[in-house]
Structures are given as structure tokens and as C-alpha cells.
Amino acid sequence: MKPEQLSEATLAHARAAVTPPRYARGACRVGWLHFGPGAFHRAHQAYYADRLLEHDPRWAISAVALHSSAVRDALAPQDHLYCLVELAESPHLRVIGALREILLAAQQRAAVFARLESPETQLVTLTVTEKGYCLGGDGRLDLKHPDILHDLRADGEVRSVIGFLVEGLRRRRALGARPFAVLSCDNLPDNGPTLRAAVAAFAAERDPAFARWIEEEVSFPRTMVDSITPATDADLIARVAAESGLYDAWPVQRERFTQWVIEDVPAVRVADWSKVGVTLARDVSVYDRAKLRVVNGAHSTLAYLGLLRGHATVSEAMRDLPLARHVEHMLREEVAPSLRASGSFDIESYIEATLERFRTPSVRHQLAQIAWDGSKKLPVRLLPSVAEAMAAQRPMTRLVVALAAWMRFVIGRARAGEELVDPMAERLLALGRVCTDQPEQDVARFLGLEDVFPPALARVGRFNAAVVKAYRALGGTGSLPDAERA
């Protein structure tokens, strides 16, 4: 028999092991708007908002889904309550009450703009993935992107997150209200300034004076977020029902470790972040680079090599000793040297802690999920380390193995007729279908993707030769160099 569904009315029936919200939800006000209410947001930023609400009622969240209504449809019958499972030897269940509403942008634009216009909305955060920013290969706004072209011609009927931000700020300015702070929580290099430049570039197409106002008056602080968040599956839903006594249509899970670092600027001091474990830092760049290159870079490497070698999860891939050694040597010998100049940041300890997190068996992070959107992830997770290693005449042989593994992964999907989750999926699958296992020709086809590989890097002979060598060695099964098989 299916248990009763989680809601305000049934929350009191939850078993004692469940931590409920420790505040009166009805007394909370919406001061925070978030674009992209996926699993990571609900396991991370909403968790911090939940803790803020224990001390300050201003931080309930209005979440905006840009495309899919799935999260809204699942959580609306639950009064937007859901369970967060912190994975560890003894998992912990917490009911998150921070979400006040979930709006579907395409159907509820007026409600979205009402929230953006409201002077109570002081923070706007984003987790829309790298592809949601409509950037080109140079990291700048792609003015030829279909969504951007549409929004530049639209009169408020925007559909991109950039379009919503610009229109929201325009309306805020027209009302004479102080602008909200905008925090990108996605894995973009220098995410705050990158987002500011994209928003200003869009605004400049219509009104250069408005663009200057954005650049001068609106805060786009840098941020770094970190917590491994495996996808929700049927096992998690069943486990939450068994342990809580209530049915939750869409619980989320993450490792117990969680981190949020925000650039310390006046606009973000509206909340007492220190009470909930958020770090305000003058320099976020060291945290950002370490997370992108160590955690995310290693994740992508494990994903593409692990899938080639027949593994399904990160912890399973880490039990493959040659693969685990390969990743550790890559981090210590090819990634760490570019991060050691960061003064007090202990990169060796950070790498050790990261590898230990990856080994945790209770965190079943699917490699197939990590492999999504490779064309957007590789340029920020691996290529900067490659470029810096080459410039310093350091080894980068293991880093390029990950790039070659991605190429093999795409070709495998194309030949099997399987789906590829990537904004360039159609182009990549077409490329994969014409590859013939001739390393020089196949690699040249991939390196010709200027949206992935900057031409200045792709033309370097040493880089080309290294990728071809790695591609040839990998074959279709993920064979590693002899040193890793010892």
C-alpha cells in the first residue's frame, strides 16, 4: 500500500528519523529567485536557504523552470516540500521547506517578472548548466544563438535566462528599485564576470546606456559550489518512503560534504551566511579553479574512461585500480602544478580529500550523468589545465587521455544509435558516424570543433600528436598506458 504523500498536512506524520523545517513556513517571505530548480539546486542552495530561514524569514525561494514542468508538477501537490537525503554510512533525511513556488517561465512570464520587480527579491541565483548561458566557444554571449536571436526580437516574451535577467533588470531600473544581486552557481570559469559580460552584451544590443548601468550598478559575484549530487532514481524514492513513512515524488540526494563560496561584496551581505556555513571570500578564484580542475576534471575523466571500461558509477570506477592510479597521477602531476601558486591553498590535501569522496560507496554517482554535455564541460574542466601544462613545458599526457576518451565515447554512442545528451548532439553524432578508427583522421575531425577546442590549441603539433597517441592507445575499450596497468 502506497504511503500518504508528503505535504504540509501530512508532515507531522513523518517518522522521528526525519528532520522537518524548523520554522513557520507561512511566516516566510520570498526574497530569493532561482532559475533552474534541478536536483543540484534543491540539494545545495535550497538547503542553505532552509537553514537561513531558521534565523531570518526573508529567504524563501521562488524557483523558475525555464523549460520543463516536471519538477513543478511533482512538488506542487506536496506544497513544494521534498526530502534531502545526505549520503553517508548513516544517511540523514531532512525535509526542505525553502521553496515557496515553482514557476514555469514559458507559461508564467508575468509572475516571473513580478518576482524580479519586487523590492523584496534581493538575490537571483542560477543553476542552468553551462549550456544555459548561450555562450560561444570564446566564453562570450553568442549573439547568433537561436534563443538570443529570439529574445532580442521579442518584446518581453523572452525564453533564455539572459533575456529574463536583462528584462527583469530593465523593469527594476524603471521602477527606481535597487538591483538584485545575480549569482551564477554553475561551473563557468570566472562565473560572475562571465555572466555580467553576457547580460551587458545582450543589453547593449538594445540600449548601450542600460548596458553601462548594468556593468556599474549590478553585482555579479563569483561563486564556487561543490557537492556530489547523484540523480534521483526509483531506489531513492522507495528508500525515502520506507524511512520517512511518506511518499515523496521527487526527493534528492547528495554526499554529506557540501561547500559554497561567494565573493564578499556588499550586495550579498544581506544574509547572515556565516550562520549556515557559506564562506564569503575576497578571492574565490582559487576555490573555483581547484574545483573545476580537480573535482570536475577528474569526474569527467572517470566518466569517459570508466564508461569505456564498463563501469557505471564513480565509486565503481575508483575500484578499478589502474584507472584510479591514472586519475590520481593526472591530478598530482599535471593539474596540481598550475594550482600550487595559490599561496595558502593546500592542493595536495584537496586532491586527497577529493579522491576519498569519489571512493565513498554510498554515493552512487552515475558516470552516464557526468558524461552529459561534454562539449560544454571539457573546455572549462580540462582544456585550461592542458593549455597551462603545455605553456610551462610540463607533461599533459594523462589529461589528453580524457579528451581522447570523450571522442571514443561520442563515436560509441553514434555507432550504437544511442542518445547523446549534449547541446551539440546532432553535430557530434554525425561526426561520430563518419569516423573510421584512423586515429589521425578521427582526431582531426574532433579538433576541428572550434566550439570545443580553441583553434590556437588545436593547431599545436605537440597537442595533436598527444591526442592521436592517446586515441590510438585507448581503442574502443579504454586501455590505459602501460604505466597505469603495472
What is residue 302's predicted lDDT score, i.e. its pLDDT? Answer: 98
**Does pLDDT of 232 surpass 50?**
yes
The DSSP secondary-structure symbol of 259 reads: E
CA distance 205 to 144: 12
Cβ neighbour number for residue 130 with a 10 Å cutoff: 18
Position of cell 570523450?
A: 406
Mean of all residue pLDDT scores within the chain = 95
Nearest to 102 by CA among 147, 58, 70: 70
Number of H helices, E strands in the chain: 23, 12
Kindly list the distances between the CA atom of residue 104 and the CA atoms of 34, 40, 119, 228, in Å, as whole numbers in the listed order. Answer: 12, 18, 21, 26
Q: What are the tens digits of pLDDT across the range 342-393?
A: 666 889 999 999 999 999 988 889 999 999 999 999 999 999 999 999 999 9
Percent of the chain past pLDDT 70, that is, above it, reads 98
What is residue 25's predicted lDDT score, i.e. its pLDDT? Answer: 97
What is residue 154's predicted lDDT score, i.e. its pLDDT? Answer: 87
CA distance 325 to 303: 15
The DSSP secondary-structure symbol of 65 reads: E
CA distance 389 to 396: 6
Q: What are the tens digits of pLDDT across the range 278-321?
A: 999 999 988 989 999 999 999 999 999 999 999 999 999 999 99
What is residue 264's predicted lDDT score, i.e. its pLDDT? Answer: 97
- Exposure string over 439-453, b if 16+ CB within 10 A, otherwise e: beebbebbbeeebbb
Q: What are the tens digits of pLDDT across the range 406-456?
A: 999 999 999 999 999 999 999 999 999 999 999 999 999 999 999 999 999
Q: What are the tens digits of pLDDT across the range 183-196?
A: 999 988 899 999 99
**Does pLDDT of 483 surpass 80?**
no
**Does pLDDT of 170 surpass 80?**
yes
What is residue 476's predicted lDDT score, i.e. its pLDDT? Answer: 82
What is residue 44's predicted lDDT score, i.e. its pLDDT? Answer: 98
Indicate the helix (H) or strand (E) that contains 146: helix 146-153
Position of cell 548601468?
A: 213
**Does pLDDT of 484 surpass 60?**
no
Residue type (1 letter), 147: D
All structural domains of the chain, each given as residue ranges with its CATH number in brackets, are 11-281 (3.40.50.720), 285-485 (1.10.1040.10)
Q: Is residue 34 classed as helix, strand or coil in its secondary structure? A: strand
Strands (E) located in 36-107: 60-65, 82-87, 92-96, 99-104
**Does pLDDT of 112 surpass 80?**
yes
Residue 320, all three cell numbers? 578499478
What is residue 343's predicted lDDT score, i.e. its pLDDT? Answer: 63
Q: What are the tens digits of pLDDT across the range 208-219?
A: 999 999 999 999
**Does pLDDT of 485 surpass 80?**
no
Q: Please name every residue paired with 35 in a beta bridge, in sequence order, or none if there are none.
A: 64, 126
Q: What are the tens digits of pLDDT across the range 245-272?
A: 999 999 999 999 999 999 999 999 999 9
**Does pLDDT of 486 surpass 50?**
no
Residue 189, all three cell numbers? 570559469
**Does pLDDT of 482 surpass 70?**
no
